[in-house]
Copies of this chain bind each other. A is one copy, B any other.
Amino acid sequence: MLQISKRGQLMPPSPIRKLVPYAEAAKKKGVKVYHLNIGQPDIETPKMILDAVRNSDFKVLEYSHSAGNETYRRKLVKYYASVGINVDHNNIIITTGGSEAILFGFMTCMDAGDEVIIPEPFYANYNGFAVAADVKVVPVTSHIDNGFALPPVAEIEKKITPRTKAIVICNPNNPTGYLYSAAEMEQLKQVVLKHDLYLFSDEAYREFCYDGTHLSAMQLDGLDEHVVIMDTISKRYSACGGRIGAFVTKNKTVLDAAMKFAQARLSPPSFAQIAGEAAIDLPPDYFNTTKAEYKSRRDLIVKRLNAMDGVFCPNPGGAFYAMAKLPIDDADTFCQWLLESFEHNKQTVMLAPATGFYGTPGLGKQEVRLAYVLNLTAIDAAMDCLEAALKQYPGRN
């Protein structure tokens, strides 16, 4: 009998999207659902970059260079310099979203059975790319009590085996919003150097830091051979649908190998490369405005959450996610109940149960991730729903 592959069976479904059928059912009943479950911002994509695509004038929608258009890569060098990252256009492969940059990193640097250490909770799709690349994700637990700071180096080192090839960080972090300090980045550097590991740095939310400064892994001295940045324009410019990212490294052997994977898939999307290139000419205040908007949302959601009886939400330093500990029995049950059995003035809220972000089974059962991607009014209304829900939920602790 025909069977699918083991990896096809092992591949985890998206924990963020698995509650979608319940949300659709709620909407069919006439209930308004506030989507705080997914990192799809309501911030408008800068008109200037959409217009660059709309005003494009070509006759043939051609393949681009497999590494992406050289004009775009050269402009990206300027962008990276503006955030303190010094690279050459030959250090950059334009990818189909940050997703493909992650896949290229895993495929290029690790073989089947190799291990990659990731502080948990972590971006759930790392699991998917690990299954695709047949590598093992080894989680090191970070904790809500200290806001999900980097686990102690000793904890990380305990997980290192001869098969360990890399550490993945996401900074600022999805799902926790944690922004690594310079001291923590220095600790990571020492571990990486001592054990000769790759450091994959997912910096999708680089621009959105509210307290403290972002230090890129590529700003760490002496790690040129170790660091691969996995980047994307999705969040930076509210351009998730463009599917444009970047794989950036100064390690020429790694880049050359990744380039062969890039050639196999021919080229990244041409339309959105136009948008990405145009984005580099956005006025400098673009990020100030966007950042101020996200900061006010963060301030509101954190304040509202911590004002609820039995709820704890550490203040996230960056990205647009907050993790909250709720007085509930089970986050998966609760999030489904919110959609299936609850409404507050014909409204409810969709959250992401944190269980999907932990690699260790059993963790995160009282935690949820909230993406503050909606405007202040919507966040306020969503928090009204959550507050009312926690009073009614039968599984309250």
Listed in ascending order, the chain A residues whose CB lies under 8 Å from chain B are 1-2, 4-9, 11-14, 17, 38, 40-45, 50, 53-56, 58-64, 66, 96-97, 99-100, 103, 107-112, 114, 125, 127-129, 132, 134, 196-198, 225-226, 238-243, 251, 253-254, 257-258, 260-261, 263-272, 275
Contacts and interface: CB of A to CB of B under 8 A. Distances in A.
17 contacts: A2-B198, A5-B257, A7-B111, A11-B261, A14-B264, A38-B63, A40-B63, A54-B55, A61-B242, A61-B275, A62-B241, A96-B96, A97-B266, A125-B264, A128-B261, A128-B263, A243-B268
Nearest to A50: B61
A261 B7 CA distance: 10
A13 B264 CA distance: 8
Given A5-B257, A240-B266, 9 more contacts: A2-B251, A4-B254, A5-B114, A11-B257, A44-B59, A125-B264, A134-B134, A241-B267, A241-B269
A226 B4 CA distance: 11
6 interchain residue pairs of minimum CB distance: A128-B264, A241-B270, A8-B257, A271-B271, A14-B263, A269-B269
Majority secondary structure, A binding face? loop
A373 to B, nearest CB: 10
This chain's copy number in the assembly: 2
A1 B196 contact: yes
Contacts of A265: 96-97, 99-100, 103, 125, 128
A100 B261 CA distance: 12
A243 B267 CA distance: 8
A380 B264 CA distance: 31
